[in-house]
Amino acid sequence: MSMLFSSGRRIGFGSMQLTGPGHRAAPDDPGRAMQVLRDAVDAGVTHIDTADAYGPFTAEKYIRKALLPYPDGLVIATKGGLTRQGPNQWAPCGRPESLRQCVEIGLGQLRVERIELYYLHRVDPAVALEDQLAVLRDMQAEGKIGNCGLSKVTSEQLRTAGELVEVAAVQNRYNVTSRASEDVLRHCEMTGVSFVPYAPPASGRLGKPHCVLHELATQYGATPAQLALAWLLHHSPAVAPIPGTSSSAPVRENLAAEQIKLTPEAMTAIELAATGRKLGGRA
């Protein structure tokens, strides 16, 4: 089981989809976005992931308005260090004074005295990694951050960071069709770090009715997205996926993936299908 998220529920909820087009500003129906959050918690979600860059400051606001006072046991993770210039535009900013401001704004947006898990959203290549992490370490010592995380990092950056701060979680893109971060995942396993893959159903591509996993999913009486999530859970005990959605129905469907049992043969079949291959040769 994932090391940081030990409540028994490994699938969380990613709030990025609760924003407008290009993950900019508010969606057409903010009330619906907040209802999705309430429904997710009612369904048993105990880990909600967000960031100040979602909107910016939109998803964090919805979480506060929808869920405050927060239920016991709910881990709300947020991030800082990634600025917004427009729809689908992102640029890292790791200057220490800016990161400190990000944390302070996050505390106010979520209306908490301590953020349980705070990620450096991107490593800024223009600023020494030690200087960026020093801010999070200092604010952790001040009691404003519970655990420190990193997002979209290489295994080399993770090893370096581990010498500077205690890393509790890593959030990288990872799913059965995109496994470039396999070395990062294995490092997390060896060091007791939670690995939080974003876009676990490949940004929705594995949720489509006739995607590459459609045939296998039908055999399991599941959806392709559920099968993709089940594969992740079986692939590593360090994994805690955060599928996101802008509607409530898929939340319970995603959580149901925890009940799917996969044999080693099924895992191999899913991996081959996801890469367009079949047992005994190529498709």
Residue type, 124: D
Contact between 11 and 239 under an 8 Å Cβ cutoff? The reply is: no
User: What SS3 class is residue 148?
Assistant: strand
| Cβ atoms < 10 Å from Cβ of 272 | 17
Contact between 205 and 225 under an 8 Å Cβ cutoff? The reply is: no
**54 tagged catalytic:** yes
Rounded Cα distance between 78 and 145, Å, is 10
User: What SS3 class is residue 213?
Assistant: coil
User: What SS3 class is residue 10?
Assistant: coil
| Cβ atoms < 10 Å from Cβ of 67 | 18
The distance between the two most distant Cα atoms of the chain, rounded to a whole number of Å, is 58
Sorted by sequence, the CB contacts under 8 Å of residue 276 that are 6+ apart come out as: 212, 282, 283
Of residues 54, 119, 174, 198, which has the active-site annotation? 54
Q: How many CA atoms lie within 13 A of 11 on its CB side?
A: 28
Residue 194, strand partner residues: 169
Give catalytic residue positions.
54
